[in-house]
A and B are shown apart, each in its own frame.
Chain A
């Protein structure tokens, strides 16, 4: 376990040494503050559009951080040939995968925490209302979703040739699931066979990441999701994360490491 945490620690250090997070955070902060400063009909109590913009930017930024950080882990180790001394430590390939996964996940979680603290300060200062438990649920569910995304990105990174292609493919896949995934059953109903079966198969196979998006509940003050549902959603995310990590390990354990 210590080996895994040591590997994870390196990934976390990498996050705060690189500029990705800072650039995205500053951009999010600037856009949110600029949006918040706009005066609409002399009403200073208008706040939901600021929450909406800020939450959207948080989701996009977190997704980019998770994908970019994860996609370059294995290719970078192979390219710089640091993977050879690492695996000779001895570190097993399973530990290597898990270390990289936990590193990326924790690093993304830390970034997410900073983003949400900013969100809470900005919106709370405007509406004088701090629904901490709702924020906790939102951040937890988003983090659980990012675990699936990170595991998927790790899997893609051992299949595709370059980090850029991994990032692009995963971004399209995740955005597609978030936007269309939940509606595939409705779309399938209006399709002739065999398209209907194909759509339904995809619908039941893909991880339904849209469940974890409770932005609307935060923006429109709809209150908490049932805690049992949160636990079940977390188990669902754990199952898909485990599946993707297993596939990554199966692909990686026999993979030639020479570039």
Chain B
């Protein structure tokens, strides 16, 4: 019996459709992340992640006022500088040398061409940091699961642009899209601590961030030690400033386990112990 080609085509299409819906269900179950149904996800599908990365890079380009390596320039791989800045990193003279991707002019064309290009490494300042925000907004629209977008955007809004409420709204949006992100919770805690001086909320949010960090699988935990160190270190500082010295020591000791320089933290612990010896603090139970 000869099968009709239309029937074969219909069968193949049915199989394709069934497989596609099955795969969709599996990926949906695998990911705990909230789904975004914005216009970009409908139009571009997963391709929007490429755009998101490009827009995030554009934010870094703007932060450097156009002084940025092209794909042809050699530069050491590493996180974007806006990410490093949001983690409190400032450029050392060694870093500056690393970022001199242009090097010496290779020939007269290169030498003369530099008179028209931007050849100076600078960072935006005096509230001009606002210029990176459109690219971060677009990056968030394109890929709501890119966590750095929210933490970097919030950092610049609250520390350089005096926009803590906008920063909080951006973080809350990020949290809706990534409910398990300890990074966003950590940044939210910093906002409550540093901008709102609401140490109660900051403590609660950081403790939740720590729980989220601990919920990760051991391999991911190993890769994200910095996150643990930042959370515990900030909790320790918060407790120290609040006079809860026992708790401060507890968190500093926790941070010591992953810190690249445990001695520096030990010094802080010793300082607290000295203060405790001089003036006993109210009894604190361990958290």
Give the size range of A's interface with the partner.
35 or more
Contact of A212 with B116 in the complex, beta carbons under 8 Å: yes
* Residues of chain A at the chain B interface (Cβ within 8 Å): 38, 40-43, 45-49, 141, 180, 182-183, 185-187, 189, 203-204, 208, 210-214, 216-217, 219-222, 225-226, 229, 232-233
Q: A183 and B70 in contact (CB under 8 A), knowing A41-B133, A48-B62, A49-B131?
A: yes
- A41-B166 in contact given A46-B131, A183-B72, A222-B66 (Cβ < 8 Å): yes
For B166, the chain A residues whose CB sits under 8 A away are 41-42
- Considering the complex, which residues of chain B in the window 69-104 have a beta carbon less than 8 Å from any beta carbon of chain A? 70, 72-73
A40-B137, A183-B70, A183-B72 in contact; A45/B117 too (CB < 8 A)?
no
- A189: chain B residues at CB < 8 Å are 106
Map CB proximity to A onto B158-181 as digits: 1 under 8 Å, 0 otherwise: 000101001000100000000000
Q: Within the complex, which residue of B106, B134, B137 is in contact with A185, where a contact is CB–CB below 8 Å?
A: B106
Given contacts A183-B72, A185-B107, A203-B109, contact A225 B116 (CB under 8 A): yes
B66 touches A46 (CB 8 A): no
A42 to chain B: which residues have CB within 8 Å? Answer: 163, 166
Are A226 and B113 closer than 8 Å at their CB atoms? no
Indicate if the CB atoms of B133 and A43 lie closer than 8 Å.
yes
Q: How far is the CB of A119 from chain B (nearest CB, A)?
A: 17
Binary interface profile of B, 109-150, with partner A (CB < 8 Å = 1, else 0)?
Answer: 110110111100000000000110111010000000000000
A41 and B72: CB pair below 8 A?
no
A-B pair number, CB within 8 angstroms: 80
Partner of A40, one of B110, B113, B117, B134: B134
Q: In the complex, what distance in Å separates the CA atom of A221 from the CA atom of B66?
A: 10
Closest to A44 in B: B130
Question: Which of these, A46, A182, A220, contacts B130 with CB under 8 Å?
Answer: A46
Q: Are A41 and B163 in contact (CB under 8 A)?
A: yes
Known contacts: A41-B133, A46-B131. The answer to whether A186 contacts B106 by CB under 8 A is yes
- Partner of B137 from the list A41, A47, A210, A212 (CB cut-off 8 Å) is A41
CB-nearest residue of chain A to B68: A216
The residue of chain A having its C-beta at the shortest distance from the C-beta of B135 within the complex is: A49
| A-contact bits for B22-57, CB 8 A (1 contact / 0 none) | 000000000000000000000000000000000000
Give the complex CA separation of A204 and B112 in angstroms. Answer: 13
A233 to B163, CA, bound (A): 45
Give CA–CA (A226, B114) in the complex, Å: 11
